[in-house]
Structure 1
Amino acid sequence: MTNEALEARKLLYSESVGVLSTHSTDIPGYPFGSITPFTLNHQGEPVILISDIAQHTRNIKADNKISLTVFDQYASDPQSAGRITWIGDAEPIDETDSRARERYLRYFPAAASYFDTHDFSFYRLNLKRARFIGGFGRIYWIDPPDMLRMNPFRETEGDIIEHMNNDHGEALLHYANVIKKVNVQDIAMTGIDGDGFDMRGDGRKLRIDFESPISTVEEARAVLIRLARTQQAGSTP
């Protein structure tokens, strides 16, 4: 895996909103862009939740070729910061896939109410190729084998999150306040993967990257304990 792919994946994992571009059915031949929240599934693909009555959903049903552009929302100079355009096909997710729903709702709990009003469906964005710009003059195409990484905690993620949220709330506040330097009152872990873990602090996504990839529950426990003992901001011990 290239350094560019690692950097691109780190950016993708740190964000939760992108610009979804579809092919307009109302104005044929023209693109249609819309702000769309997303999470990542256990294959590392973006997952979106969209309503059947939305324009972008109608566009996808006519032509499922899409792109999702993701960038650092908090960069002081977006032009010099990293951004990635994920190009691929929007594929509906089977309604029986409870993992996709559970993971999405951990990141966006308010979305649970959407199912009471309109017909909403989950789609995964199957990658064909990604375009990553890491700054001025740093422009790369990245293919799926380099971009995608299977989440090693796909079977145990729910148990890890439940344990951290129920028994280690103080550690989560420490991660946010000390390591991320973000003062929050309400905090919860929402996801963990081989490259890092996510929290929701006062409604905002907070991502902490591991210094090196991990793949076992034992490694996850060890690194989370070390992070809880970190006294000042910095990289993972």
Structure 2
Amino acid sequence: MKDQPSPLRETDDEARKLARVLLRSARYAAIAVLDPETGFPFASRVLLATDIDGTPVILVSRLSAHTKALARDPRASLLTGEPGKGDPLVYGRLTTQCVAEPVEHGHRFHERIRTRFLDRHPKAKLYIDFPDFLFFRLKPEQASLNGGFGRAYHLDGSDLVIQSPAIEAIAAKAAETVRDLVERHPDVADILAVRLNAPESGSWRICGVDPAGFDIISGDFLVRHEFETLAVDCDHICSNISKIAYSIP
């Protein structure tokens, strides 16, 4: 009997980029955890953001079933990817297997995660500081990418996380970098939306930068753009964004 061909394609840079965009552009995700009482998978929906290194971040109530499950077993899976018109299975989606790390008040990452989360989900300001809410960083271990029919790939967790010595320096100045850029170019986000073929919407704004790219948001729409190469500092990020917005196509 002949061996059946593998359904997996060789993972290349195009697949890695698609996976990163599917994860980093998601405003929400389906999360699956292990029910501590029954051992069965338990699925729910969570708001999603990313830390400065691209690690997905969720904000959850300690009272929720998935939070209690993660406290007992930190393993979880995230499903990201938006279907469109027609057959939902022709659209890309990513299943990321993660290990959850709690980030509570006082944690060294808490303030930057809080800032980045609110930039993406401003309505969360109503409850983000409640004592029964906390963040989890969901450290990717491995992932399965389905880019549509016949386009299946396996990825390592390292394919989804930004590996850069400039991470901490950029994190310290990220908010200031966006403020300075917008002060110099008040229309930059709306111009970026046009250049990136974003959906027609109201006013756009930059809601996050990191060494690998930036995010713009307008209402329920979020667009992620990845740089060709990692930025080495905040000036490099500004330069990359300005070139995309204002260079002649």
TM-score tier by shorter-chain length is 0.7 to 0.9
Does 1:48 find its partner at 2:65?
A: no
Paired position in structure 2 for 1:13: 24
Give the 3-state SS of the residue equivalent to 2:118 in structure 1.
helix
Structure 2: distance between partners of 1:117 and 1:219: 37
Give the 3-state SS of the residue equivalent to 2:199 in structure 1.
coil
Structure 1: distance between partners of 2:129 and 2:112: 20
Paired position in structure 2 for 1:174: 191
Equivalences for 1:204-215 in 2 at 5 Å? 204-215=221-232
AA aligned to 1:119 is D
Paired position in structure 2 for 1:61: 71
Equivalences for 1:100-119 in 2 at 5 Å? 100-115=113-128, 119=132
Q: Which moved more, 1:206-215 or 1:138-147?
A: 206-215
TM-score, structure 1 length as denominator?
Answer: 0.86
Structure 2: distance between partners of 1:166 and 1:41: 24
Structure 1 residues 127 and 116, CA, compared in 2 at 3 Å: closer, same or farther?
Answer: closer
Structure 2: distance between partners of 1:226 and 1:80: 33
Cα deviation for residue 180 of structure 1 reads 2.3
Which residue of the other structure, out of 12, 24, 34, is the alignment partner of 2:35?
24
Does 1:222 find its partner at 2:235?
A: no
Structure 1: distance between partners of 2:86 and 2:226: 21
Cα deviation for residue 75 of structure 1 reads 6.2
AA aligned to 1:225 is S
On the 8 A contact 2:162/2:212 being kept in 1, the answer is: no
On the 8 A contact 1:18/1:68 being kept in 2, the answer is: yes
Cα deviation for residue 211 of structure 1 reads 4.0
Structure 1: distance between partners of 2:244 and 2:217: 17
Give the 3-state SS of the residue equivalent to 1:169 in structure 2.
coil
Cα deviation for residue 196 of structure 1 reads 2.0
On the 8 A contact 2:95/2:144 being kept in 1, the answer is: yes
Which residue of the other structure, out of 99, 118, 142, is the alignment partner of 2:155?
142
Cα deviation for residue 44 of structure 1 reads 1.8
Paired position in structure 2 for 1:79: 89
Q: Which moved more, 1:131-140 or 1:147-156?
A: 147-156
Cα deviation for residue 156 of structure 1 reads 2.3
Which residue of the other structure, out of 190, 199, 207, is the alignment partner of 1:190?
207
Give the 3-state SS of the residue equivalent to 1:159 in structure 2.
helix
Q: Which moved more, 1:184-193 or 1:40-49?
A: 184-193
Cα deviation for residue 20 of structure 1 reads 0.5
TM-score, structure 2 length as denominator?
Answer: 0.82
Cα deviation for residue 117 of structure 1 reads 5.6
Structure 2: distance between partners of 1:137 and 1:107: 33
1:58-86 per-position Cα deviation (integer Å, ceiling 9, x unaligned): 22122221111111244654312221111
Q: Percent identity?
A: 27
Q: Which runs of 5+ in 2 are unaligned?
A: 1-10
AA aligned to 1:21 is A
AA aligned to 1:23 is L
Q: Which runs of 5+ in 1 are unaligned?
A: 232-236
Structure 1: distance between partners of 2:199 and 2:147: 25
On the 8 A contact 1:52/1:118 being kept in 2, the answer is: no
